[in-house]
Amino acid sequence: MNPSFPAAALTLFLVVGCGKEPAPVVADRDSAIDVVTKQNIEAHLAFLADDAREGRMAGEPGYEAAAQYVAGQFAELGLEPGGEDGWFQQVPLISYRLDEESTVLIAHRDGKDTRLQYKEHFTMGGDKVREENSLRAEVVYVGFGVHAPEIGYSDYDGVDVEGKIVAMFDNAPGSFPHNERAFYSSGRTKAKQAIERGAIGVITLMSKRMEEYYPWERVKREAGTRPGMAWVTLTGEAADYYPELRGSAMLSVEVARDLFAGTPISFDEAREATEASMPASTPLGFEVTLARKTKHEVITSPNIVGIVRGTDPELADEYVVYSAHLDHNGIGAPVDDDNIYNGAYDNAMGSSLLIETARVFAASPPRRSILFIAVTAEERGLLGSDYFAHYPTVPTESMVANVNLDMPLFLYPVADIIAFGSEHSSLAGTVETAINAEGFELTPDPMPEENIFRRSDQYSFVRKGVPATFLVPGYTSMDPDVDGEAVVVEHRKHHYHQPSDDLSRPVDWDSAVRFTRANARIGYAIANDDARPQWNEGDFFGEMFAR
Return the HEC string of 291-334: EEEEEEEEEEEEEEEEEECCCCCCCCCCEEEEEEECCCCCEEEE
The residues in 460-489 that bind Zn ion, with binding defined as CB under 5 A, are none
* Residue 452 binds Zn ion, judged by CB under 5 A: no
Tell the smallest beta-carbon distance from residue 187 to Zn ion (Å): 16
* Residue 60 binds Zn ion, judged by CB under 5 A: no
CA distances (Å), 222 to each of 45, 135, 148, 211, 361, in order? 26, 25, 33, 15, 41
Alpha helix ranges (H) inside 241-349: 253-260, 267-275
Tell the smallest beta-carbon distance from residue 1 to Zn ion (Å): 4
Tell the smallest beta-carbon distance from residue 497 to Zn ion (Å): 6
- Residue 2 or residue 274: which is nearer to Zn ion going by CB? 2
- Residue 222 or residue 441: which is nearer to Zn ion going by CB? 222
Tell the smallest beta-carbon distance from residue 379 to Zn ion (Å): 5
CA torsion, ordered 32, 34, 35, 37, to nearest 10 deg: 160
- Residue 455 or residue 517: which is nearer to Zn ion going by CB? 455
* Residue 386 binds Zn ion, judged by CB under 5 A: no
The residues in 113-132 that bind Zn ion, with binding defined as CB under 5 A, are none
The residues in 293-352 that bind Zn ion, with binding defined as CB under 5 A, are 346
Q: Maximum distance among all alpha carbons in the chain?
A: 79
Q: At what angle do helices 509-528 and 427-436 cross, to 10 degrees?
A: 140
User: Which are the contacts of 115, defined by CB distance < 8 A and separation ≥ 6?
Assistant: 104, 105, 106
- Residue 173 or residue 330: which is nearer to Zn ion going by CB? 330
Tell the smallest beta-carbon distance from residue 133 to Zn ion (Å): 28
Q: What string marks each residue from 268 to 297 as x (binds Zn ion by CB under 5 A) or -?
A: ------------------------------
- Residue 180 or residue 346: which is nearer to Zn ion going by CB? 346
CA distance 415 to 398: 34
* Residue 356 binds Zn ion, judged by CB under 5 A: no
- Residue 226 or residue 359: which is nearer to Zn ion going by CB? 226
CA-derived radius of gyration, the chain: 23
- Residue 348 or residue 399: which is nearer to Zn ion going by CB? 348
- Residue 346 or residue 485: which is nearer to Zn ion going by CB? 346
The answer to whether 218 touches 335, Cβ cutoff 8 Å, is no
Question: Coil, helix or strand for 499?
Answer: coil
The H-or-E segment that residue 47 falls in is helix 38-48
Tell the smallest beta-carbon distance from residue 529 to Zn ion (Å): 32
265: DSSP letter = S
Tell the smallest beta-carbon distance from residue 335 to Zn ion (Å): 16
Tell the smallest beta-carbon distance from residue 53 to Zn ion (Å): 15
Give the residue closest to Zn ion by C-beta.
Answer: 1
Tell the smallest beta-carbon distance from residue 473 to Zn ion (Å): 16
137: DSSP letter = E
The answer to whether 20 touches 441, Cβ cutoff 8 Å, is yes
Choice from 1, 49, 191, 340 touching Zn ion (CB under 5 A): 1
Tell the smallest beta-carbon distance from residue 343 to Zn ion (Å): 7
Tell the smallest beta-carbon distance from residue 345 to Zn ion (Å): 9
Return the HEC string of 334-400: EECCEEECCCHHHHHHHHHHHHHHHHHHHHCCCCCEEEEEEECCCCCCCHHHHHHHHCCCCCHHHEE
* Residue 375 binds Zn ion, judged by CB under 5 A: no
Residues that contact Zn ion, how many (by CB under 5 A): 2
* Residues in a beta bridge with 420: 470
CA distance 121 to 284: 19
- Residue 295 or residue 494: which is nearer to Zn ion going by CB? 494
CA distance 540 to 65: 40
Tell the smallest beta-carbon distance from residue 346 to Zn ion (Å): 4
- Residue 4 or residue 425: which is nearer to Zn ion going by CB? 4
CA distance 281 to 168: 9
- Residue 271 or residue 492: which is nearer to Zn ion going by CB? 492
Count CB-CB contacts under 10 A for residue 67: 22
Amino acid symbol at 268 = D
CA distance 414 to 397: 35
Alpha carbon of residue 152 to chain centroid: 28
* Residue 527 binds Zn ion, judged by CB under 5 A: no
CA distance 125 to 127: 7
- Residue 1 or residue 33: which is nearer to Zn ion going by CB? 1
* Residue 406 binds Zn ion, judged by CB under 5 A: no
* Residues in a beta bridge with 203: 167, 249
* Residue 501 binds Zn ion, judged by CB under 5 A: no
- Residue 293 or residue 325: which is nearer to Zn ion going by CB? 325
Going by C-alpha positions, the residue among 360, 385, 396, 305 that lies closest to residue 81 is 305
* Residue 508 binds Zn ion, judged by CB under 5 A: no
* Residue 58 binds Zn ion, judged by CB under 5 A: no
Tell the smallest beta-carbon distance from residue 310 to Zn ion (Å): 32
Binding residues (CB under 5 A) for Zn ion: these are 1, 346
